[in-house]
Structures are given as structure tokens and as C-alpha cells.
Structure 1
Amino acid sequence: MKKIKLSPNFDIYNFSEPFIIAEIGANHNGDMDLAKKMIDSAVDCGAHAVKFQSWTPKSLVSKVEYDNNQKYDDSPKKHFGSLKEMIQKYYLREDQHFELKEYCDNKGVVFASSPFSEVEADLLDKLGVPFFKVASMDINNLRFLRYLAKFNKPIILSTGMASLAEIDRAIKTIESEGNDQIVLLHCISIYPPKYEDIHLNNITMLQQAFDYPVGFSDHTIGFSIPLASIALGACVIEKHFTIDKNLPGWDHEISADPAELRIICKEGLNITKSLGSHQRIVSDAEEAKKGKFRRSAVTARAIKKGEKIKTEDILFKRPGTGISPDEESYIVGRTVKNDIDKDAMLTWESFE
């Protein structure tokens, strides 16, 4: 089973303990104090990494798009100003990257980010990020994938909007540069998606189609769907995160709040532990319960010395420390050595 090291102390593989990424993205709203509060909260919830997005007004959006004044109004929340004004306010400056990386280091949490251009990839490499996260929008950006692959870092690849053929091509593009440290994230690039459009069984499909770990990048409301993905073996969970869903911005309302992220971190680990083995195993603790919970043979009536035991002479009651029900055939027809009271437990010493 292929293992990928996402941090010095964390290897992931299908059905491993899930690596939880709190996707802050642009939810910091350009405010470093808010960003640090989100980092603190994510750490407190148990996240293994916090992830931002590294883009600039020039690297993400073209003049044509700015001229269209598009506001990305697929969210019911009203955004301030034009697209250009939002991009200008929300993007992380270079010095802020260093500030947040140092803050994460001091808090003992992995700092990660999605680069949106080669310049930003260089910056993140300079910061020493342990992996690159590729957004779904770039799965067909083959030149960019080749550039990222050359750093020989793990690449977490979101698969939103992509066909199976596009996923396969992206993998082969990365592999062509000698990099086989790939993690696939099943993803639906709708915010939030309808439940019937999520297709969590794609996690199993991707596990079978490719020899790489598979996780889940979640855009649903709440925590039930990412937890369900962990039960299917998702080994990385990327979940948008905020400390207040009512804050202005693109992703706050579809993000997990601290209460939800804490559940994902805690219960996700419990789910992984509970999946256990495909072998049928009875634990020592369960073995110990047999004596209390199972049944043993007892007499249905008072039986005299020398009588032969008939089927109707036997009942089975707790505790399970005597002759078990599946041994009934070995005692029917046998002769008792002494008088036995009604409702007494039979033992092998009861018979001649």
C-alpha cells in the first residue's frame, strides 16, 4: 500500500488515520489577526494542517474577467464591491506568508497553501511547505503540474470538475517528471453541492483505479459527509474553516465552524480506529463477556439419580460458564449420577 509523508511525523495511505486540513483559504479576509485566530482555533480543534491560498490580483484573474465585474454570486451572501476590489483585499501578500508560516511553526501545526502560479510555488518552496495542494481548477493546467512536480514534494490533487481521463492525464503528467508522491482528493466544485451529486463512492473508485491514496475535499454544510468519507477510507480531509459563518467573504457560510471541525477531527479518528480488520476477530474483552452473556444447560425439572436426560429436561439460561447450547447433543441420553434439583446447572460431572 502506497504511503505518502505529508509532514515529518505523518504518513497517509488509504484507510489510515485521516490527515485533517483546515482550509482557511481566503477566509482571513485580508486580516492577519483574524487569520491567527483561525489558526489558533484549528489547532485547538485538532487539525493537522491549516491551508491558505497563494494568489495575487495578477496571477488569478485576467483583465477580461475584471472587466466583466464578475462577483462569483453563486453564494446567497452578498459580497462587497467588485471582483477586483475583493481580490485586492483578500490576497495574501508575500510578507504575510512568512508571518503566518512562522506563527504556524510556533503553534506546532503544518502551514500549507495552494499556489496559483509558478511565482507562488517558488515562494511556498522557499517557505519549506511539506506539500503542494493543487486546486481543482488546475487539474488540466499541465504546464503548471509539471512545474510543481519538479520540486519533488507530495502533490495533493483535487479532482473537482474533472473526468476520469483528465485525472489520469494529470497523474501521468506529474509522474513524467519523476514524482510519484500524489494524493487524490475526490471533490465536487459546488458550494455547497446537492447530496445526490456528491457520489462518495467515487472514493472507492479512485482507490481502485489508481495506486495512490485518496482523500476528500468537502464543500458540504456540516460534518456528516466528511465523516462518511473517512468510513470509505479517505485519508485526507480538506474542509473549509471559519470561526464565524456570518463573516463577509466567499466561503464562510459553507465552512466548518470550530464545533464542527472538532467533531470531524475527533470522530474521524474514532471511525478509523473502529474500521479495524477484515478478519473476524473476537477481542479479549468480548471473550470475557461470554461467561456473563451466553447460556448454559440447566434442568427443566427435578431429576432423580439414574434417569437419562431427555431433550425436554434441558433449558438454557445464563450464565455461560457451564455446558453450552451447542453441546446439547453430548448430554441428551446420558445418565445422571445423583439427584438434581430443578433449575440447577448441569456440568460434565453430573453424568455417569
Structure 2
Amino acid sequence: MKGLLYRGARDIVFDDAPVPEPEDIRSAIVKITACGICGSDLHIYQGHGFSETNGYCVGHEAVGEVIEIGSAVSRFKSGDRVMISAAVGCGSCPSCMAGNVTQCETAGARCYGLGPKLQGVQAEYTMVPVADFGLAKIPDGVTEDQAVLLTDNLPTAWFGLKNADIKPGSTVAVVGCGPIGLMAVEGAFLMGAARVFAVDLVPERRQLAEEIGATAFDAAEARDQIAELTSGHMCDSVVECVGADAAIHLSMKLARNAGTVSCIGVNQTMDFKFPMALAFIKGLTFRTGTCSVPAQWPELVPLVQAGKLRPERTVTHHMPLSEGAEAYRMFDARENGAMKMILKP
């Protein structure tokens, strides 16, 4: 079997990968038909991984076809077209059974492709543990690209928006206009935001945000421009989609008094200098965390089917999985407008 393996900083290779084997009778083997590169995959690519080892298969966004199921799998059969939740729980505790796998009560929450314990999905095949809870059939009216984005990116954006306390008429800022940020811009309007400000360093990404309806600024001018446009009141809600320390600090400055900051960018800083005085003086609500993908599907799938959300607009490239190393390089360099990369085995 072939897959994309992490060998070290900026060293992703298409090579022989471990053949997936069932974990137990609740597992399924899925033949991958499309997978995506997530912005958080770039942390691994850049050498800031979540495991001290290397040589493992990366990736956590994929859709495919079930080819084998364990005897305890009841909701799926061979031939089913499925999307794979990036978040994996034990499947048996009350939280998992409610879809909240990141709150797994057995400390069993996992994610594909962060290390050798659960190999990634940027491969020809993958093993899905607890398949009845970690898979969903691709619904009618949902394209393959949309299904890939429903495995992580769109649910993460939606999770960040819900954590931001957005109400009809709100003024919202989205910091970071990569795929998740652009989905957050679109979703903020759907939740009733009257104005959405988008902040990014890349002009092309700011333009994409403006095409969705946002008013976009470079990070260097965002605070002053938003202060002017809001008469100093700033934003009711801020959704941070970068993960960099500077982006989090800026997000807190963009929030109004008693506003809410929701951070969904992956930040690996263990000694982050939280501006407590600013948060205290403003009376900010600050939330962060990872998304439980299955918990978001009941709301998001109908919105995608109805065309109310169009996450596929962020897809810029379709490439063979065999060219995955080049896809990572392009995405990392933001070359040729590279943003959402879909790979096909």
C-alpha cells in the first residue's frame, strides 16, 4: 500500500505505508477515494509535529468506500461511500454515543495521522476504529469535495462560530482566511452577523473573503481600521483561525468590552503569554478547543445540501496522491494560490 509518510521537517514522501489491519471487531477498512491536506498538517510538515517519531502516515481528512467490516459493525456494509470523522472516540461512553468524541470519558479520543498509534488517511486505504461511530454515509446531494471538507474543516469552522456567541446583528471578525477562516466568514453571515471583518496577511485570501461579503484588512492595519468603522466599539465576536501567538493577541484586541474570542487555530505554545490584564479589563469570554466532528454533522449536512454553505469554494487544487509531497510544498509556500488541496489515490 502507498501513502504519504512524514520523514522529518518538510520531508513528506509517497512511499510504502503500513497495510491497515482491523483494530478489533468494531473496525472497518476503507479504500480512500479523496483526502485533504489540513492547515494543521502543516505543523507536522514544518517539523512541529505531535509525535517524537517519524515514518508514519499523515492526514486526517478523507472519504472513501468501505471494503471490509468487523463482525460488530452494524451501520455499514462493503460498498458504502463514507466520510471519515477526523475525531475518533471510544464509541461506547455517553459522550461518544452523543457524538461528542472529544469529550470521550474513557480518555480514548484520538485523531488520525498525528503519530504511529493511528496511521493517517492520506493513503490508499485506512483502518477506521469504532466504525459505527467514526463514519457517516456520504449523503445525497453532497459532492465528494464537500464530503472531504465535512470530515474536519467545515465542522471546525462551525464549532468556532458557535463558541463565539454570534447573534443576529453581530459584528464579527475572523482572523485568518485560510480554508477554515473563509468557511467561518460564510458561516458567520448565515448565523446572522450584520458585518464580518476578515484579517489576513495574504492579499489573495483577503480578496476571497471580500467575495463572500466580508470587509478585509491586512493584520497590520486591522485594529485601527476596525476601530474607525465601529466608532471604537470593536467586535462582538472574534474567531481566530491561525494558531499563532500574534493572531491570538490581535483577536483579543479586536473584541469589544464583554465580547467573545473563539480560538480554533492550532497553537502548540506551552508557555503562551496570555494578556490577562486585557481580558480582565474588557471582561472577555475566551474559548478554545478542538472540534467533535460528528456532533456538527446534523446541522451542517442539511445546510450544505441546501447550498446555504459552500465549503468547496476553498478548494484550489486536485492532485494525485503520488504528488502529495509537491502539494504540501505548494500549500506551505502558498504558491499559485494554493489553499485547499484535495488528493486522489
Normalized per residue, the structure richer in helix is 1
Instruction: Please confirm whether the aligned pair reaches a TM-score higher than 0.5, indicating the same fold.
Output: no
For normalisation by structure 1, the TM-score amounts to: 0.28
